[in-house]
Structure 1
Amino acid sequence: MSQPNKVLQRLLLPRAGSLLPLVLLGVLTGVIASLVMMSFLVLLNGVLGSLNGDNLEDFESLAWYWQLGLPLAGSLLLILLYRLTPPASWSVGLAYVLERLQFGQGRIPAATIGFQFVAALIALGSGHSVGREGPTVHLGAGIASQIGQLSGRPPSQLRLLLGCGTAAAISAAFNTPLAGVLFAMEVVLMEYSLLGFAPIIAAAITASALTGALLGEHAVLAPVSLSLASYQDIPGLLLTGLWVGLLAALFQRLVLVFVRLPLKARALRLLLAGAVTGALALAAPQVLGSGYDTINAALGNQLPWLLLLGILGAKLLATAAAIGLGVPGGQIAPTLMLGACAGGVAGALLPGTSDPALYALLGMAAMMSAVLHAPLAAIATVLELSLSAEAMLPAMVVVLGANLLCQHGFHLPSLVITQLRVRGQELQTHPLRTALAQRYLSELADLSLVEWNGEGPLPRTEAHALVVHRDQQYYLLKPAQLERNITPESLESLLTPARRLQLLERDMSLLQALRTLSGEDGAGFLVPVRRGRGLVTRGRLVRMLTEEGGLY
């Protein structure tokens, strides 16, 4: 192990469950994620500025052949990037981060971070209908994972650090620390915990403060002041929520249509995504890019409802094509634009005394919430971006209607879970099973053991356990219960199936361990740890699960 790694571990590993080391790691994650995100934003803004001038998202001013050809050119560059990089680096995005959390012990390979950085620059710079949020989450979580691995954190704390990286990256990219914290806990970790709040908040405020100090104000939406004019408009808000929820369900169905197209070659899928986006841009150039300029126009009540409706239809198709066909970008910014357009249409057509622009703002929260099943993160994102706290109550009403229709009317999971299911990966969503799946045997391992091959004199040891290796099987014996002059015959009588240990080649979650033990009479597991092997007995596992605070 290198000297810097040893120093890092001495500083940050006083106790496995200590909060202070996690907060320090959160701050470190915030600093590094902020620097990486600033580099990403500077490069992206440079690319967009060279195309669109000072108004970075102004793809509408480009000539028609640029609007048609730019997404196709981006697809060609992405194809070249895939050809020049190893397959191990190709997995990217929010869905991949959730996959590594549940199935990969929170370990994100460094190669995927670099690939995501470059691929997102190409996709966003060429006008594909994707957002920067998915890549942002991957970059932040990947950085946090690398920091956690270098500092030797156990899997459950490594998982928490991914939440820190997520919050830090979102805070740095959008100057929205509260939304970053809520997104990390609601969408990525899928739980709220007292242990997690402190390090995740530390990462978010560190990243936001550092980015603000170095880049200054970098808000993507213009601040607005919108509020509910009368409580008599609440029925209209409920209708708006149902309308947005219906569009969210349609959007998910369209994504699945493109995912299931019978095109196996990645190159053909990327070219089709570019062609669909370019063709739609000829009719509605607002579909190009993340669409923050269109959102600002909708919030300013500058677009007629017929134009908003046309943009909404084109953006639905372009975004579903980009996500379903595998363009390496995020889905949050496009969903915000879809919600703004849908809300703007509702505000123009529904009777009421509230500003129609209010409905555009509320539609953004409702669409993001319905697609990702993240109501608190969606409300915080929209309110922090717009600085319109007066919209809190109506936002909750619209989000409620949209979520009810999507989750209980159409029984749709979040888009991220849908993407993983298509790949054959089913995330645990039951609270108890989720908690057990996110913690690992190595965190419970007892290192006080001695191994003996059963030959020669019995080893003299004060260790808690004696592990006997015999005929490629491992057995657990208690040294105090053994005779000193043990014979091969008497030893053989002790090596029963009830004393057998499973030798694991890699760590196992508590959920997997319980499922394994429920089907046999074994004594427990030998688990790989940093210093060799650790022992987790059946009794120790039961005690840790039943004692208060045992999981930590």
Structure 2
Amino acid sequence: MIAGISVLPSLKKYVLRATERMTLIGRPTRILLLGVGLGIITGLTAVAFRSLIIFSNSLFFPHDPQVGLLFGRWWRYLAFMIPAIGGLLVGGIMYLFFREEEPLSGVPEVMAAVSLKGGLLNPKMGLKGLLSAITIGSGGSAGPEGPIVEIGSSLGSYLGQKLRLTGSELRLLAGCGAAAGIAAVFGAPLGGVFFALEIILGEFAINTFAPVVLSAVAASVISRTFLGDQPAFQVTAVTSLGSLYDIIPFLALGLLSGLVSVLFINALYKGQSLFGRYKFSSWLKPAIGGLMVGVLGLALPQVLGEGYHSVTAILNGNILWWTALLLVFAKILATSLTLGSGAPGGSFAPAVFIGAMLGGAFGQLLAFLFPGFFVYNASYALAGAAGVVAGALNAPLTAGLIIFEITGTYKIVLPAMIVVAISAMITKRMKGSSVYTQAMFKAGLPVDQLRRHSHLSSATCRQAMKRDIMAILPQMSLHDIIKAISRTDQLILPVIDDNNKYLASVNWSQLRLFLEEEQTGGLIIAHDVMIKVPQVNADDSLSLALMHLIKNDMQEIPVVENGKLVGLIGNKEILKGGF
């Protein structure tokens, strides 16, 4: 016991010394080393997360649910309650420890933090992501990619905050954590890299590429050391394109994948709206969603959990086309109920399932209708999976690479490229958003538009704000307010208390309502005319400030730090600071 106590101070000193040394290293080298270290940590976390999902599944389903849910002893019919029990556990834990209402979770929350908050993420995000092991293990229709991205990105952001890195470095480390998480969970380092660049960071700059690659490689090595390096899906028959004639069915499959992707995106939105409409307690909603999924699982147990066993089955032709087609719509419904109820989980694995079933049904139907021309093989199911992932997630590069990596066969690349291109184009034309960006638009965060000015995400309000400003006290008279605002070029006058704590603001449009009362002078004070306006923190990105200005049709907003006023920022300051 004494030895254990003496080790802790030594370990703390070692960490502090390592932190100090890290700050002395040049920026490029420091980021590369941090990327590798983050990849190792995230890889170990992903292995533990995967093991937690397996343990949770064995706890909730001691027997294979796909074997014993529909037929068997009478008590097996009660298995539809299992997803509800899992939802009740998740809802209760989230209510107790994550009670704050967050408009976003999973990948959209990381995207918003990277684009609008300079990569600042709450470490509690990672802990919340771990709850998805209960969701998936108890039969909820969700995947692990959203939670592991949360976990990896929050680890990267936490590490960067402890080292006091800049906003651009925090963003990069969050991207490294996301790449490492995807690489470790799916055994797909290339897919992890492009997921981070294409979805999380939204850019392919040279200075971001190397750290992200090293982080993904390190995580993948750790994952393969513990989990093995076998492809996620074992396929027996995959063919590539032998002639131009072979392109035709994949063009048609690309069209179908795009339409199903749009249906999937709309269904997820409807699911969120459905549960948002009814005033159930937040902790009860995941249980209600789980109960609905459990009832659906009585007839179609393949929709429960990730569904990777069923994906392997359709790849090898062990599911009939009409069943596969039915599973497409059943999985969309199950995923909408699970994620719409607020249960933590990702939409990547369901998209793979939906696309594989769609492609498998399409390929089998072709072989049935035109037996002399087409023979069923796994290429249709794999290309369909890539197509729905590309369309639903708006990530064509990621989709093609991950499908290639998780199958370990190059033959799928050409068919997948065709389906991915057509599906992504159709989804973009018809919907214009992905499952991720749609959630952000619903929360009032137009991240896609702000990414056109991605440089604004790297600069903070602290760097660009106007510091020499005029502020007033709540008891200042209307007459003095008008005199004060006429002597400054500020568009608003922040109202503060004696301790410089920001309270509200006074602007010209509000003052005009009281100009006729100017003669009463001291009867009207600042407290009477001040109004609440949007504000930003000093470490928020310029893109977040710009979003508030556009959304509220304002020219200037206050900047605060720990509740105290530190400056003002407007369009002029953003233009100077971001360009």
Question: Under a length normalisation based on structure 2, what TM-score does the superposition of the two structures give?
Answer: 0.76
Q: 1:110-149 to 2 correspondence within 5 Å? A: 110-117=123-130, 119-149=131-161
Tell me the distance in 1 between the aligned counterparts of 2:570 and 2:271: 48
Q: Does 1:275 align with 2:291?
A: yes
* One-letter identity of the residue aligned with 2:538: R
1:290 equivalent to 2:306? Answer yes
Question: What's the CA shift for 1:379?
Answer: 0.6
The letter for the 1-side match of 2:416 is: A
Identity, in percent, stands at 29
Q: Does residue 386 of the first structure (1) align with residue 402 of the second (2)?
A: no
Structure 2 equivalent of residue 335 of structure 1: 351
* Residue 233 of structure 1: how far off its partner (Å): 2.1
Match of 1:374 among 378, 395, 398: 395
1:289 Cα deviation after fit: 0.6
Matched residue SS, 1:38 = helix
- Listed one character per residue, the Cα deviations across residues 413-468 of structure 1 (whole Å, up to 9, x for unaligned) are 0111111222232214355423323432556799xxxxxxxxxxxxxxxxxxxx97
Per-residue CA deviation, residues 127-157 of structure 1 (Å, 9 max, x unaligned), is 1010011111111111111111111111111
The 3 A distance-change label for structure 1 pair 345 and 370 is: same
CA distance in 1, matches of 2:555, 2:403: 54
Code of the residue aligned with 1:330 in structure 2: it is G
Query: Which of 69, 78, 97 does residue 85 from structure 1 map onto?
Result: 97
**Corresponding residue number in structure 1 for 2:441:** 421
Task: Report whether the alignment pairs 1:200 with 2:200.
Answer: no
Distance 1:255 1:388, change over 3 A: same
Q: Provide the aligned length of Structure 1 versus Structure 2.
A: 496
The aligned residue for residue 461 of structure 1 is none
CA–CA distance in structure 1, aligned partners of residues 198 and 362 of structure 2: 28
Matches of 2:468 and 2:383, distance apart in 1? 65
C-alpha separation between the residues in 1 aligned to 2:440 and 2:145? 18
* Aligned partner (choices 176, 191, 195) of residue 188 of structure 2: 176
Does 2:141 match 1:109? no
Q: Is the 8 A contact 1:8 1:151 kept in 2?
A: no
Q: Secondary structure at the match of 1:210?
A: helix
Using the alignment, how far apart are the partners of 1:270 and 1:15 within structure 2?
A: 47
Check if 1:264 corresponds to 2:279: yes
Determine the structure 2 residue equivalent to 1:398.
419
Separation in 2, partners of 1:14, 1:538 = 36
**CA distance in 1 between partners of 2:18 and 2:201 (Å):** 25
Measure the CA separation in 1 of the matches of 2:249 and 2:136: 35
What corresponds to 1:95 in structure 2? 108
Match of 2:385 among 364, 374, 382: 364
For residues 555 and 310 of structure 2, what CA distance do their matches in structure 1 show?
63
1:299 aligns with 2:315: yes
Task: Report the residue type matching 1:33 in the other structure.
Answer: T
- Structure 1 contact 252–415 (Cα < 8 Å) conserved: yes
Distance 1:120 1:520 in 2: 40
Given that 1:233 and 1:353 are in contact with CA atoms closer than 8 Å, whether structure 2 keeps it comes out as: no
2:459 and 2:578 in contact (8 A); partners too: no
8 Å Cα contact 2:549-2:570 kept in structure 1: no
Task: Report deviation, 1:508.
Answer: 4.7
Report the alpha carbon displacement of residue 248 of structure 1 after superposing the two structures with TM.
1.2
SS of corresponding position for 1:433? helix
Cα distance, 1:356 vs structure 2: 3.6
1:460 corresponds in structure 2 to none
Q: Which moved more, 1:309-318 or 1:326-335?
A: 309-318
- Taking the TM superposition and a 5 Å limit, the aligned residue runs for 1:63-82 are 64-82=76-94
SS in 2 for 1:429: helix
Question: Per-residue displacement from partner, 1:248-269 (whole Å, max 9, x unpaired)?
Answer: 1112222222211221322443
* Distance in 2 between residues matched to 1:468 and 1:135, nearest whole Å: 43
Q: Is the 8 A contact 2:146 2:345 kept in 1?
A: yes
Instruction: State the Cα deviation string for residues 80-130 of structure 1 (Å, max 9, x = none).
Output: 21332142496631111112223333222122221221x211101101010
Structure 1 distance, partners of 2:283, 2:571, is 51
SS of the aligned residue for 1:326 comes to coil
Question: Corresponding residue for 1:12?
Answer: 22
Q: 1:146 to 1:431 in 2, by over 3 A?
A: closer
- Give the partner amino acid of 1:83: Y
Q: Matched residues in 1 for 2:544 and 2:157: separation?
A: 23
Q: 1:29 aligns with which of 38, 42, 48?
A: 38
Letter in 1 for 2:406: L
Q: Which residue of 2 aligns with 1:228?
A: 241
CA RMSD, 1 decimal: 3.7
Deviation at 1:325, TM superposition (A): 2.1
Aligned position for 1:243: 256
CA contact (8 A) 1:339 1:363 kept: yes
Q: Equivalent residue for 1:314?
A: 330
Cα distance in structure 1, aligned partners of 2:92 and 2:547: 45
Note closer, same or farther for the CA distance 1:298–1:40 as it changes in structure 2 (3 Å cut): same
Q: Which moved more, 1:224-233 or 1:157-166?
A: 224-233
Contact 1:34 1:208 in 2 (8 A): yes
Q: Contact 2:231/2:407 (CA < 8 Å) preserved in 1?
A: no
2:426 is the alignment partner of 1:411: no
Give the whole-Å Cα distance in 2 for the aligned partners of 1:254 and 1:439. 36
The verdict on how the C-alpha distance between 1:145 and 1:508 changes in structure 2, with shifts beyond 3 A counting, is closer
Once the two structures are overlaid, the 10-residue window that deviates more, 104-113 or 195-204, is 104-113
Map Cα deviations across residues 483-510 of structure 1 (whole Å, 9 max, x no partner): xxxxxxxxxxxx9759x99998613534
Q: Distance in 2 between matches of 1:337 and 1:501?
A: 55
Aligned to 2:342: 326
* Mapped contact 2:445–2:547 kept (Cα < 8 A): no
Distance 1:425 1:537, change over 3 A: closer
Contact 1:233/1:354, CA 8 A, preserved across alignment:
no
The answer on whether the counterparts of 1:441 and 1:527 sit within 8 Å (CA) in structure 2 is no
Kindly provide the amino acid, as one letter, of the partner of residue 262 in structure 2.
A
Q: Contact conserved, 1:230 with 1:353, CA < 8 A, in 2? A: no
> Residue type matched to 2:263 in 1?
L
Provide, for residues 367-399 of structure 1, a one-character-per-residue CA deviation record: whole Å limited to 9, x for no partner.
001001000001111110011211111111111
Return the offset for 1:280: 1.1
Amino acid in structure 2 at the alignment position of 1:19: P
Residue 526 and residue 368 in structure 1: after superposition, are their counterparts in 2 closer, same or farther (change >3 A)? closer
Measured after TM superposition, the shift of residue 406 of structure 1 is 1.2
- The 1:302–1:22 alpha-carbon spacing in structure 2 relative to 1, beyond 3 Å, is same
- Which of 425, 439, 443 is equivalent to 2:459? 439
Check the 8 A contact 2:293/2:334 in 1, yes or no: yes
The AA in structure 2 aligned to 1:396 is M
Equivalent residue for 1:187, pick from 199, 204, 214: 199
Structure 1 residues 472 and 336: alpha-carbon distance in aligned structure 2, compared to 1, 3 A threshold = same
* Whole-Å separation in 1 of the counterparts to 2:291 and 2:548: 50
User: How many Å separate the matches in 1 of 2:431 and 2:570?
Assistant: 41
